[in-house]
Amino acid sequence: MKDVYSSIFAEWKERHKEGMLPRANPLSKYMGMKPRKIIAATGLRRVGKTCMLYQLAGTEREKILYINFDDERIPARTDFLTGLVPAIKNMLDVRPETLFLDEVHRLPDWSRWLRRIYDEGEFEIFVTGSGAQLSSEEIPYELRGRCMEVRVRPLTYAEFLGFKDKGATAALLEEYLLYGGMPEVVLAGGDVKLDLLRQYYSTVIRRDIIERFRIRNSEALKAMLKLLANSTQFSFTKLYNTIRSMQMKVGKTAILKYMSHVESSYLLRSVPILSPKVKDQMRHPRKVYFEDTGFVSALSTRFSKNYGRLCENAVANGLSSRGYTLHYWKSVDGREVDFAVRADGGVEALVQACWEPWEDSTLKREMSALATASSELSCSELLVVTKDKVGVEEHRGKKIRFVRLGDWLLGA
Protein backbone atom coordinates (compact mmCIF):
# COMPACT_ATOMS: atom_id res chain seq x y z
CA MET A 1 0.00 0.00 0.00
CA LYS A 2 2.86 2.36 0.79
CA ASP A 3 4.09 2.21 -2.82
CA VAL A 4 0.65 3.19 -4.11
CA TYR A 5 0.48 6.19 -1.79
CA SER A 6 4.01 7.21 -2.75
CA SER A 7 3.29 7.03 -6.49
CA ILE A 8 0.03 8.97 -6.24
CA PHE A 9 1.59 11.72 -4.10
CA ALA A 10 4.61 12.11 -6.38
CA GLU A 11 2.60 12.13 -9.60
CA TRP A 12 0.29 14.88 -8.39
CA LYS A 13 3.18 17.30 -7.96
CA GLU A 14 4.22 16.78 -11.57
CA ARG A 15 0.86 16.36 -13.25
CA HIS A 16 -0.69 19.26 -15.13
CA LYS A 17 -3.69 19.46 -17.41
CA GLU A 18 -2.22 20.90 -20.58
CA GLY A 19 -4.30 23.10 -22.82
CA MET A 20 -7.21 23.57 -20.43
CA LEU A 21 -9.43 26.40 -21.55
CA PRO A 22 -10.87 28.66 -18.86
CA ARG A 23 -14.53 28.44 -17.94
CA ALA A 24 -16.69 29.70 -15.12
CA ASN A 25 -15.83 27.53 -12.13
CA PRO A 26 -18.74 27.18 -9.67
CA LEU A 27 -16.38 25.61 -7.13
CA SER A 28 -14.02 28.57 -6.76
CA LYS A 29 -16.16 30.59 -4.35
CA TYR A 30 -16.15 27.71 -1.87
CA MET A 31 -12.39 27.65 -1.36
CA GLY A 32 -11.81 28.69 2.25
CA MET A 33 -15.55 28.69 2.92
CA LYS A 34 -16.74 29.48 6.46
CA PRO A 35 -18.46 27.63 8.03
CA ARG A 36 -16.49 24.72 6.68
CA LYS A 37 -18.37 22.17 4.55
CA ILE A 38 -17.48 19.20 2.36
CA ILE A 39 -18.02 20.55 -1.18
CA ALA A 40 -19.49 17.87 -3.44
CA ALA A 41 -19.16 18.59 -7.16
CA THR A 42 -21.79 16.52 -8.97
CA GLY A 43 -22.86 16.20 -12.58
CA LEU A 44 -22.85 14.11 -15.71
CA ARG A 45 -19.75 12.06 -16.49
CA ARG A 46 -17.17 13.92 -18.66
CA VAL A 47 -18.77 17.29 -17.98
CA GLY A 48 -15.53 18.76 -16.62
CA LYS A 49 -15.55 18.23 -12.84
CA THR A 50 -11.95 17.02 -12.69
CA CYS A 51 -10.68 19.88 -14.83
CA MET A 52 -12.34 22.31 -12.45
CA LEU A 53 -10.40 20.77 -9.57
CA TYR A 54 -7.20 21.23 -11.56
CA GLN A 55 -8.12 24.85 -12.20
CA LEU A 56 -8.68 25.40 -8.49
CA ALA A 57 -5.32 23.84 -7.67
CA GLY A 58 -3.41 26.09 -10.06
CA THR A 59 0.31 25.93 -9.30
CA GLU A 60 -0.03 25.60 -5.52
CA ARG A 61 0.44 21.84 -5.54
CA GLU A 62 1.87 21.56 -2.03
CA LYS A 63 -1.24 23.08 -0.48
CA ILE A 64 -3.56 20.64 -2.27
CA LEU A 65 -3.58 16.88 -2.74
CA TYR A 66 -5.63 15.37 -5.57
CA ILE A 67 -6.52 11.66 -5.65
CA ASN A 68 -8.50 9.94 -8.39
CA PHE A 69 -10.16 6.87 -6.90
CA ASP A 70 -10.86 5.56 -10.39
CA ASP A 71 -7.11 4.80 -10.58
CA GLU A 72 -6.72 1.05 -11.09
CA ARG A 73 -3.81 0.96 -8.64
CA ILE A 74 -6.09 1.92 -5.76
CA PRO A 75 -7.64 -1.18 -4.19
CA ALA A 76 -11.37 -1.07 -3.59
CA ARG A 77 -10.85 -1.57 0.13
CA THR A 78 -11.63 0.50 3.19
CA ASP A 79 -8.10 0.09 4.56
CA PHE A 80 -6.77 2.27 1.72
CA LEU A 81 -8.92 5.11 3.05
CA THR A 82 -8.01 4.34 6.66
CA GLY A 83 -4.32 4.59 5.87
CA LEU A 84 -4.53 7.68 3.66
CA VAL A 85 -4.22 10.45 6.25
CA PRO A 86 -1.40 8.69 8.17
CA ALA A 87 0.42 8.28 4.84
CA ILE A 88 -0.02 11.99 4.10
CA LYS A 89 1.44 12.90 7.49
CA ASN A 90 4.34 10.47 7.26
CA MET A 91 5.29 10.74 3.59
CA LEU A 92 4.82 14.39 2.62
CA ASP A 93 7.25 17.06 3.74
CA VAL A 94 4.52 19.71 3.54
CA ARG A 95 1.10 18.67 4.71
CA PRO A 96 -1.66 19.81 2.28
CA GLU A 97 -4.46 22.04 3.49
CA THR A 98 -7.05 20.78 0.97
CA LEU A 99 -8.02 17.33 -0.32
CA PHE A 100 -9.51 16.87 -3.80
CA LEU A 101 -11.13 13.41 -3.81
CA ASP A 102 -12.32 12.36 -7.27
CA GLU A 103 -14.92 9.53 -7.33
CA VAL A 104 -14.22 8.63 -3.67
CA HIS A 105 -17.66 6.99 -3.41
CA ARG A 106 -16.30 3.99 -5.32
CA LEU A 107 -14.58 2.66 -2.19
CA PRO A 108 -16.38 0.81 0.63
CA ASP A 109 -17.31 2.82 3.74
CA TRP A 110 -16.30 6.04 2.01
CA SER A 111 -19.00 8.13 3.67
CA ARG A 112 -18.14 7.09 7.23
CA TRP A 113 -14.44 7.70 6.56
CA LEU A 114 -15.22 11.08 5.02
CA ARG A 115 -17.27 12.11 8.05
CA ARG A 116 -14.43 11.20 10.37
CA ILE A 117 -11.88 13.18 8.33
CA TYR A 118 -14.24 16.14 8.18
CA ASP A 119 -14.93 16.03 11.92
CA GLU A 120 -11.20 15.96 12.68
CA GLY A 121 -11.01 19.31 10.93
CA GLU A 122 -7.49 19.04 9.47
CA PHE A 123 -8.41 19.50 5.80
CA GLU A 124 -10.66 21.43 3.50
CA ILE A 125 -12.40 18.76 1.39
CA PHE A 126 -13.75 18.72 -2.16
CA VAL A 127 -15.26 15.52 -3.58
CA THR A 128 -16.68 14.69 -7.01
CA GLY A 129 -19.09 12.11 -8.32
CA SER A 130 -20.82 11.20 -11.58
CA GLY A 131 -23.74 9.42 -9.96
CA ALA A 132 -26.15 10.88 -7.44
CA GLN A 133 -24.45 9.40 -4.34
CA LEU A 134 -23.20 12.89 -3.49
CA SER A 135 -26.38 14.76 -4.42
CA SER A 136 -28.47 16.52 -1.81
CA GLU A 137 -31.21 13.90 -2.35
CA GLU A 138 -29.04 10.80 -1.90
CA ILE A 139 -26.16 11.90 0.31
CA PRO A 140 -25.57 9.29 3.04
CA TYR A 141 -27.08 10.03 6.42
CA GLU A 142 -23.74 10.52 8.15
CA LEU A 143 -22.81 13.37 5.77
CA ARG A 144 -26.04 15.33 5.92
CA GLY A 145 -25.50 18.81 7.25
CA ARG A 146 -21.79 18.48 6.54
CA CYS A 147 -21.93 18.42 2.74
CA MET A 148 -22.91 21.05 0.15
CA GLU A 149 -23.71 19.99 -3.42
CA VAL A 150 -22.43 22.12 -6.31
CA ARG A 151 -23.77 21.06 -9.71
CA VAL A 152 -21.38 21.13 -12.67
CA ARG A 153 -23.08 21.31 -16.06
CA PRO A 154 -22.02 21.25 -19.72
CA LEU A 155 -20.67 24.46 -21.21
CA THR A 156 -23.06 27.36 -21.41
CA TYR A 157 -23.38 29.04 -24.79
CA ALA A 158 -21.09 31.83 -23.55
CA GLU A 159 -18.46 29.27 -22.49
CA PHE A 160 -18.88 27.46 -25.80
CA LEU A 161 -18.09 30.70 -27.66
CA GLY A 162 -15.08 31.17 -25.39
CA PHE A 163 -13.80 27.71 -26.29
CA LYS A 164 -14.25 28.60 -29.96
CA ASP A 165 -12.67 32.04 -29.37
CA LYS A 166 -15.33 33.55 -31.64
CA GLY A 167 -18.31 35.85 -31.38
CA ALA A 168 -21.88 34.65 -31.60
CA THR A 169 -23.16 33.69 -35.07
CA ALA A 170 -26.15 31.75 -36.36
CA ALA A 171 -23.85 28.92 -37.50
CA LEU A 172 -22.23 28.59 -34.07
CA LEU A 173 -25.60 28.58 -32.31
CA GLU A 174 -26.73 25.73 -34.58
CA GLU A 175 -23.49 23.84 -33.85
CA TYR A 176 -24.06 24.33 -30.12
CA LEU A 177 -27.60 22.96 -30.42
CA LEU A 178 -26.60 20.00 -32.57
CA TYR A 179 -23.54 18.84 -30.64
CA GLY A 180 -24.02 20.39 -27.23
CA GLY A 181 -21.56 21.68 -24.66
CA MET A 182 -19.55 18.70 -23.44
CA PRO A 183 -16.02 20.17 -23.35
CA GLU A 184 -14.19 17.44 -25.30
CA VAL A 185 -16.95 17.33 -27.91
CA VAL A 186 -16.79 21.10 -28.43
CA LEU A 187 -13.05 20.88 -29.12
CA ALA A 188 -13.27 17.75 -31.31
CA GLY A 189 -13.48 17.68 -35.08
CA GLY A 190 -16.92 17.53 -36.61
CA ASP A 191 -16.47 14.00 -37.86
CA VAL A 192 -16.03 12.50 -34.38
CA LYS A 193 -18.40 14.60 -32.24
CA LEU A 194 -21.30 12.14 -32.48
CA ASP A 195 -18.95 9.21 -31.85
CA LEU A 196 -17.73 10.82 -28.62
CA LEU A 197 -21.28 11.51 -27.46
CA ARG A 198 -22.34 7.93 -28.12
CA GLN A 199 -19.29 6.68 -26.21
CA TYR A 200 -20.16 8.93 -23.25
CA TYR A 201 -23.71 7.65 -23.35
CA SER A 202 -22.60 4.01 -23.33
CA THR A 203 -20.27 4.62 -20.39
CA VAL A 204 -22.97 6.38 -18.36
CA ILE A 205 -25.43 3.57 -19.01
CA ARG A 206 -22.93 0.85 -18.09
CA ARG A 207 -21.14 2.38 -15.12
CA ASP A 208 -23.59 4.84 -13.58
CA ILE A 209 -26.80 2.87 -14.11
CA ILE A 210 -26.39 -0.83 -14.92
CA GLU A 211 -23.38 -1.51 -12.67
CA ARG A 212 -24.32 0.88 -9.88
CA PHE A 213 -27.91 -0.34 -9.53
CA ARG A 214 -27.11 -3.94 -10.53
CA ILE A 215 -29.73 -3.99 -13.25
CA ARG A 216 -30.23 -7.46 -14.67
CA ASN A 217 -32.64 -6.62 -17.46
CA SER A 218 -30.27 -4.25 -19.26
CA GLU A 219 -32.00 -4.78 -22.62
CA ALA A 220 -35.28 -3.39 -21.28
CA LEU A 221 -33.41 -0.40 -19.86
CA LYS A 222 -31.70 0.28 -23.20
CA ALA A 223 -35.02 -0.08 -25.05
CA MET A 224 -36.60 2.46 -22.69
CA LEU A 225 -33.77 4.93 -23.29
CA LYS A 226 -34.03 4.49 -27.05
CA LEU A 227 -37.73 5.30 -26.86
CA LEU A 228 -37.03 8.38 -24.74
CA ALA A 229 -34.32 9.61 -27.10
CA ASN A 230 -36.76 9.54 -29.97
CA SER A 231 -39.73 11.06 -28.11
CA THR A 232 -40.51 14.50 -26.76
CA GLN A 233 -42.71 13.12 -23.96
CA PHE A 234 -43.66 9.84 -22.36
CA SER A 235 -45.97 8.18 -19.91
CA PHE A 236 -44.92 5.23 -17.78
CA THR A 237 -47.89 3.22 -18.99
CA LYS A 238 -47.00 3.79 -22.64
CA LEU A 239 -43.34 2.97 -22.02
CA TYR A 240 -44.35 -0.24 -20.28
CA ASN A 241 -46.77 -1.31 -23.02
CA THR A 242 -44.31 -0.49 -25.82
CA ILE A 243 -41.45 -2.42 -24.23
CA ARG A 244 -43.74 -5.38 -23.53
CA SER A 245 -44.83 -5.32 -27.18
CA MET A 246 -41.13 -5.79 -28.06
CA GLN A 247 -41.34 -9.21 -26.34
CA MET A 248 -39.34 -8.08 -23.31
CA LYS A 249 -40.39 -9.18 -19.86
CA VAL A 250 -40.48 -6.15 -17.60
CA GLY A 251 -42.80 -4.87 -14.90
CA LYS A 252 -44.24 -1.37 -14.59
CA THR A 253 -42.47 -0.96 -11.24
CA ALA A 254 -39.18 -1.75 -12.95
CA ILE A 255 -39.84 0.98 -15.55
CA LEU A 256 -40.43 3.49 -12.75
CA LYS A 257 -37.16 2.46 -11.10
CA TYR A 258 -35.24 2.62 -14.38
CA MET A 259 -36.40 6.17 -14.95
CA SER A 260 -35.33 7.17 -11.46
CA HIS A 261 -31.90 5.61 -12.02
CA VAL A 262 -31.45 7.37 -15.36
CA GLU A 263 -32.30 10.75 -13.86
CA SER A 264 -29.88 10.10 -10.98
CA SER A 265 -27.06 9.68 -13.52
CA TYR A 266 -27.73 13.29 -14.69
CA LEU A 267 -28.23 12.06 -18.26
CA LEU A 268 -31.72 13.53 -18.54
CA ARG A 269 -34.57 14.99 -16.54
CA SER A 270 -38.33 14.59 -16.83
CA VAL A 271 -40.73 17.50 -16.45
CA PRO A 272 -44.25 16.85 -15.14
CA ILE A 273 -47.47 18.69 -15.82
CA LEU A 274 -48.26 21.63 -13.54
CA SER A 275 -50.76 20.32 -11.01
CA PRO A 276 -50.96 20.30 -7.21
CA LYS A 277 -52.09 16.67 -7.36
CA VAL A 278 -49.37 14.02 -7.43
CA LYS A 279 -51.89 11.70 -9.10
CA ASP A 280 -52.17 14.09 -12.05
CA GLN A 281 -48.39 14.37 -12.33
CA MET A 282 -48.14 10.58 -12.49
CA ARG A 283 -51.09 10.10 -14.85
CA HIS A 284 -50.24 12.74 -17.45
CA PRO A 285 -47.29 12.34 -19.82
CA ARG A 286 -43.94 13.84 -18.82
CA LYS A 287 -41.63 15.75 -21.10
CA VAL A 288 -38.04 14.56 -21.36
CA TYR A 289 -34.95 16.73 -21.74
CA PHE A 290 -31.33 15.62 -21.97
CA GLU A 291 -28.64 17.30 -19.86
CA ASP A 292 -26.81 18.09 -23.09
CA THR A 293 -28.52 18.71 -26.44
CA GLY A 294 -25.79 16.73 -28.20
CA PHE A 295 -27.31 13.51 -26.86
CA VAL A 296 -30.57 14.29 -28.66
CA SER A 297 -28.67 14.31 -31.96
CA ALA A 298 -26.40 11.37 -31.13
CA LEU A 299 -29.16 9.05 -29.92
CA SER A 300 -31.84 9.76 -32.50
CA THR A 301 -32.63 6.77 -34.66
CA ARG A 302 -31.85 8.83 -37.74
CA PHE A 303 -29.61 11.86 -37.33
CA SER A 304 -31.56 14.93 -38.33
CA LYS A 305 -31.33 18.60 -37.53
CA ASN A 306 -34.47 18.87 -35.42
CA TYR A 307 -33.86 22.43 -34.26
CA GLY A 308 -37.35 22.73 -32.81
CA ARG A 309 -36.71 19.98 -30.30
CA LEU A 310 -33.12 21.10 -29.71
CA CYS A 311 -34.27 24.67 -29.02
CA GLU A 312 -36.81 23.48 -26.45
CA ASN A 313 -34.19 21.24 -24.79
CA ALA A 314 -31.71 24.14 -24.65
CA VAL A 315 -34.32 26.37 -23.00
CA ALA A 316 -35.11 23.63 -20.44
CA ASN A 317 -31.41 23.35 -19.60
CA GLY A 318 -31.02 27.11 -19.37
CA LEU A 319 -33.95 27.48 -16.99
CA SER A 320 -32.81 24.55 -14.87
CA SER A 321 -29.27 25.95 -14.58
CA ARG A 322 -30.77 29.19 -13.26
CA GLY A 323 -32.29 27.27 -10.37
CA TYR A 324 -35.92 27.14 -11.46
CA THR A 325 -38.34 24.25 -10.92
CA LEU A 326 -39.94 23.31 -14.23
CA HIS A 327 -43.39 22.08 -15.18
CA TYR A 328 -45.39 22.30 -18.37
CA TRP A 329 -48.93 23.63 -18.46
CA LYS A 330 -51.85 22.22 -20.41
CA SER A 331 -55.44 23.40 -20.62
CA VAL A 332 -58.48 21.14 -20.66
CA ASP A 333 -58.89 21.86 -24.38
CA GLY A 334 -55.29 20.87 -25.19
CA ARG A 335 -53.47 24.21 -25.36
CA GLU A 336 -49.96 23.86 -23.98
CA VAL A 337 -47.15 26.03 -22.61
CA ASP A 338 -43.72 24.43 -22.68
CA PHE A 339 -42.50 25.76 -19.33
CA ALA A 340 -44.30 27.03 -16.26
CA VAL A 341 -41.31 28.35 -14.33
CA ARG A 342 -41.75 28.09 -10.59
CA ALA A 343 -39.86 29.90 -7.85
CA ASP A 344 -40.80 30.38 -4.18
CA GLY A 345 -43.96 28.37 -4.64
CA GLY A 346 -45.52 30.45 -7.42
CA VAL A 347 -45.33 30.59 -11.22
CA GLU A 348 -42.79 33.29 -12.05
CA ALA A 349 -42.83 33.02 -15.85
CA LEU A 350 -44.46 31.19 -18.73
CA VAL A 351 -42.11 30.29 -21.57
CA GLN A 352 -42.65 28.87 -25.05
CA ALA A 353 -39.74 27.55 -27.11
CA CYS A 354 -40.61 27.85 -30.79
CA TRP A 355 -37.72 27.80 -33.27
CA GLU A 356 -39.60 29.17 -36.30
CA PRO A 357 -43.05 30.56 -35.42
CA TRP A 358 -43.60 32.04 -38.86
CA GLU A 359 -46.93 30.56 -39.87
CA ASP A 360 -49.86 32.59 -38.59
CA SER A 361 -51.50 29.47 -37.16
CA THR A 362 -48.34 28.53 -35.23
CA LEU A 363 -47.85 32.03 -33.87
CA LYS A 364 -51.49 32.30 -32.85
CA ARG A 365 -51.39 28.91 -31.12
CA GLU A 366 -48.28 29.78 -29.08
CA MET A 367 -49.65 33.19 -28.00
CA SER A 368 -53.13 31.85 -27.28
CA ALA A 369 -51.74 29.19 -24.93
CA LEU A 370 -49.65 31.82 -23.14
CA ALA A 371 -52.60 34.19 -22.75
CA THR A 372 -54.86 31.45 -21.37
CA ALA A 373 -52.22 30.20 -18.95
CA SER A 374 -51.44 33.77 -17.90
CA SER A 375 -55.04 34.36 -16.83
CA GLU A 376 -55.37 31.01 -15.07
CA LEU A 377 -52.06 31.26 -13.19
CA SER A 378 -51.97 35.04 -12.61
CA CYS A 379 -48.60 35.30 -14.31
CA SER A 380 -47.69 38.32 -16.45
CA GLU A 381 -44.14 37.34 -17.48
CA LEU A 382 -44.75 35.77 -20.92
CA LEU A 383 -41.88 34.83 -23.20
CA VAL A 384 -41.38 33.10 -26.54
CA VAL A 385 -37.81 31.99 -27.34
CA THR A 386 -37.26 31.73 -31.11
CA LYS A 387 -34.61 31.46 -33.77
CA ASP A 388 -34.57 35.16 -34.64
CA LYS A 389 -37.90 36.86 -33.89
CA VAL A 390 -37.67 39.75 -31.41
CA GLY A 391 -40.05 42.34 -30.03
CA VAL A 392 -43.26 42.56 -28.01
CA GLU A 393 -46.72 41.63 -29.26
CA GLU A 394 -50.08 41.91 -27.56
CA HIS A 395 -52.61 39.10 -27.60
CA ARG A 396 -55.95 39.22 -25.75
CA GLY A 397 -54.65 42.03 -23.58
CA LYS A 398 -51.45 40.19 -22.66
CA LYS A 399 -47.99 41.48 -23.59
CA ILE A 400 -45.76 38.70 -24.92
CA ARG A 401 -42.03 39.19 -25.40
CA PHE A 402 -40.14 37.46 -28.22
CA VAL A 403 -36.38 36.92 -27.88
CA ARG A 404 -33.71 35.17 -29.94
CA LEU A 405 -32.46 31.91 -28.44
CA GLY A 406 -28.82 32.98 -28.79
CA ASP A 407 -29.49 36.26 -26.98
CA TRP A 408 -31.52 34.50 -24.27
CA LEU A 409 -28.76 31.94 -23.68
CA LEU A 410 -26.34 34.85 -23.24
CA GLY A 411 -28.55 36.41 -20.59
CA ALA A 412 -31.03 38.62 -22.48
pLDDT digits 0-9 by tens, 181-232:
999 999 999 889 999 999 999 999 999 999 999 999 999 999 999 999 888 8
Domain boundary among 151, 179, 202: 151
The range of the structural domain enclosing residue 75 comes to 2-151
Residue 130 has pLDDT above 90, yes or no: no
- pTM of this structure: 0.92
pLDDT category, 303, cuts 50, 70, 90?
A: low
- Please check whether residue 224 lies inside any domain of the structure: no
CB-count exposure of residue 302 (10 Å: 0-12, 13-18, 19+): exposed
CB-count exposure of residue 261 (10 Å: 0-12, 13-18, 19+): buried
Average pLDDT of 36-40?
94
Query: What pLDDT score was predicted for residue 280?
Result: 75
- Please check whether residue 191 lies inside any domain of the structure: no
- Please check whether residue 375 lies inside any domain of the structure: yes
- Please check whether residue 348 lies inside any domain of the structure: yes
- Please check whether residue 84 lies inside any domain of the structure: yes
Domain boundary among 119, 134, 151: 151
Q: List pLDDT tens digits, range 382-408.
A: 999 999 999 999 999 999 999 999 999
CATH at 137: 3.40.50.300
pLDDT category, 345, cuts 50, 70, 90?
A: confident
Q: Which of 42, 51, 40 is nearest to 18 (CA)?
A: 51
- Which DSSP helix (H) or strand (E) runs through 258? helix 252-264
Q: Within 10 Å of residue 167's Cβ, how many Cβ atoms?
A: 7
Q: Is the peptide bond before 26 cis (omega within 30 degrees of 0)?
A: no
- Please check whether residue 226 lies inside any domain of the structure: no
Count of structural domains within the chain: 2
Domain boundary among 151, 167, 194: 151
Q: List pLDDT tens digits, range 55-78.
A: 888 877 789 999 999 999 999 999
Q: Quote the distance between the C-alpha of residue 218 and its chain's center.
A: 23
- Please check whether residue 275 lies inside any domain of the structure: no
- Please check whether residue 411 lies inside any domain of the structure: yes
